Structure 1
Amino acid sequence: MTRVLHLVPSADSTAYRGQVRALRERGVDCATLAVPGAHVPGERTRRPRDYLVHAARAVRAAGDDFDLVHANQGIVAPTALATPGLPAVVSLWGTDLYGRLGPVSRGCARRAAATVVMSERMARDLGADALVVPHGVDTDSFSPRDPTAARAAVGWRDDERHVLFPYSPARPAKDFPRARRVVDAARGRIDADVALQVLTDASHDEMPTYLNAADALLLTSTHEGSPNAVKEALACNLPVVATPVGDVPERLDGVSPGGVADTDRGLARLLADALSERERSNGRERVAHLDRDWTARRLERLYREVADG
């Protein structure tokens, strides 16, 4: 059995928790070491001392007979590389490559025993050997349901068109001002009331209902890796309109209604088309193979290769 010490900024990440659950189902022994403290975009962030405490704990844990250490996100990659006696796998999720910590993430990725990225675009931009393994989707929970019943469940009017923006407006990379501009422009193109639904406090268990209640998901990010919200929306056959970031163009290829566009005008046109028809998409067929077991199988194989040297 492969034993893996997972380093992660927050153990509350639904993508991370789903990944570990699938790995354990395949027999991988996973231990999680999260950075202490809490990070809330636009409100508070962790202190340097929190990362020093995390690094000290990782050094102590390294003596507990693990086969390797896996840094989930670039911000904890330096700690993985400093963990004595263990080969390091580094996973980059998106912002850690394209944001202000990009140089650190790139440097760590080149020193790691193996690097995992979320999309082919990230692999090209990294400029180093990397395995593309996007986070998997819980395709059992995220599946098509009756939209009218879903809207009743979340308290949304059935006679409005609902555009879902499932991120905090305080996160600059998600570009909420642009989302608001695009929705305003789309309103002028259709004969219906349009509501922009900003969702920041729903639990992951509630998300399938919201995705089925919405008429479209809007992603206006400046950069991404492989956004789970897009894949989960597609699994529910929800139309997605997005900027061409990360692996989104690949995921939306052949999906209708919805699509990608570079300009506000193009995004508004795609959004208006999706809202005016109020049709579900054929997105589920594009992500049906990306379940969590698919991801776990690839990581399990990588772990064996790294552990065997």
Structure 2
Amino acid sequence: MKILILCRSKSGRISPYIKEQVDSIMTFGINVEYLLIRGKSPFSYLSSYPLLLKKVKDYNPDIIHAHYGLCGLLASIQRKIPVVITFHGSDINNSVVRKISKIAATLSKANIYVSSKLAQVSSNRAGVIIPCGVNFDQFRPIENSEARKMLHFEQNIKYILFSSSFRHKVKNYSLAKEAVTKTQGYKIELIELKGFDRDQVAHLLNAADLALMTSYSEGSPQFIKEALACNCPIISTNVGDVQEL
């Protein structure tokens, strides 16, 4: 079987939760290739359509697996190859993009939602709920003292790991900053989750005193699942499927 993965990439890098999923299915002998959408403007998607047609012609996949609704709509415009769309959250939680995602969902062969909440609000077509998985070989508990030593953490500081970049608006950094400011009696360092590789993230989750997510909205946040896998204490807003985890 041959699968073409269609997803957006701002930097030319593939999102870890997509790459890890693909790496996993390739162990079963499935052939996979990527087509990346560079940029996020409507022009970026429209200008990628000829590239998609060429890729379909040259690679001749059995399935196109599109990640997020905009990629799903682009993939579904062509009618030669069946399309499966995975909806991750921002494509449903954003009211404008949700309209496009609903159109895409009616054109695709099958739809995957990473949480039951997304499935409930997203489409008039049935889909399956499959949250993104966690690599338990990589995200696993290690001794807190060992992880802190590896990262050169000081013993007298409480380290709180924020779920993303401080500049990512939907992650609501201002609430996290306010909560830390109001905490009395501790020396606290709030760590921005930005620029770390996957092994470093696993070490951070084992070294941190707390994993903090203050997002306005989420789908099925990997940050929370990976924190659970590392036995890191968590405080989170009630978004996505966090309450179910």
Aligned to 1:105: 101
Aligned to 2:163: 166
CA contact (8 A) 1:62 1:83 kept: no
Q: Which runs of 5+ in 1 are unaligned?
A: 38-45, 252-309
| Worse-matched range after superposition: 176-185 or 206-215 | 176-185
The amino acid of 1:207's aligned partner reads V
SS of match in other structure, 2:159: strand
- Distance (whole Å) between structure 2 residues aligned to residue 9 and residue 164 of structure 1: 26
Aligned to 1:33: 35
Moved over 3 A (4+): 46-49
CA contact (8 A) 1:59 1:84 kept: no
Among 150, 153, 157, the residue aligned to 2:150: 153
Aligned to 1:288: none
After superposition, what is the alpha-carbon deviation per residue over 1:185-232, rounded to whole angstroms, capped at 9, x for unaligned? 3x13xx432221122111122111111110110111111111111111
Aligned to 2:19: 17
| Residue 68, structure 1, aligned to residue 67, structure 2 | no
- Distance (whole Å) between structure 1 residues aligned to residue 227 and residue 138 of structure 2: 11
Supply the RMSD in Å over aligned alpha carbons. Answer: 1.5
Among 38, 46, 51, the residue aligned to 1:52: 46
- Distance (whole Å) between structure 1 residues aligned to residue 168 and residue 176 of structure 2: 13
Aligned to 2:2: 3
| Residue 248, structure 1, aligned to residue 245, structure 2 | no
Kindly indicate whether structure 1 or structure 2 has the higher relative contact order, using CA contacts under 8 Å at least 6 residues apart.
1
Q: Which runs of 5+ in 2 are unaligned?
A: none
Among 76, 86, 97, the residue aligned to 1:81: 76
Q: Which has the higher strand share?
A: 2
Between the aligned residues of both structures, percent identity stands at 29
Deviation of 1:47 after TM superposition, in Å, equals: 4.3
The amino acid of 1:216's aligned partner reads L
| Worse-matched range after superposition: 121-130 or 159-168 | 121-130
- Distance (whole Å) between structure 2 residues aligned to residue 194 and residue 206 of structure 1: 20
- Distance (whole Å) between structure 2 residues aligned to residue 219 and residue 205 of structure 1: 20
TM-score by length of 2: 0.92
